[in-house]
Amino acid sequence: MSSAFTIAHRQHLPDARLTAAQRRRLGHMLRCLDGREEHASHFEVAIALFGRRLLSTADWHDSAFRYQTLRLVRDGLKMVERGYRQLLRARRLIRETAPAPPGPRVACRPRHTILK
């Protein structure tokens, strides 16, 4: 087998600076922005993200999915305007500035937000 074949079929490892939930949220934000660019309503974007069976037109105005969709659009726009650098620096800055505490390691991770 050629080296090009093995490189093309090598398993992709996710960026360790982001948790699975953060990667999923970023993907949702991008899909919201794509829907906005295609002039889809927030309801149509929510159906694409969460599925038709979880959403109803009657409950849309008080739906948690509506508020989540609005936040995803808002945060996606912030990310496009100024958030990419912060996203890439988030974990690296914490590792560089925080010295390791003496003693045994604690099995918990600090909470981080992508946008402030």
Amino acid at 66: R
Instruction: Give the pLDDT band of residue 57 (cuts 50, 70, 90).
Output: confident
> Tens digits of per-residue pLDDT, 34-50?
999 999 999 999 999 99
Cα angle 20-25-93, degrees, rounded to a multiple of 5: 65
Whole-number pLDDT of residue 42: 93
Among residues 52, 73, 69, 53, the alpha carbon closest in space to that of 61 is found at: 69
> Tens digits of per-residue pLDDT, 58-105?
889 888 999 999 999 999 998 888 877 776 665 554 444 555 555 555
pTM: predicted TM-score of the whole model, two decimal places:
0.61
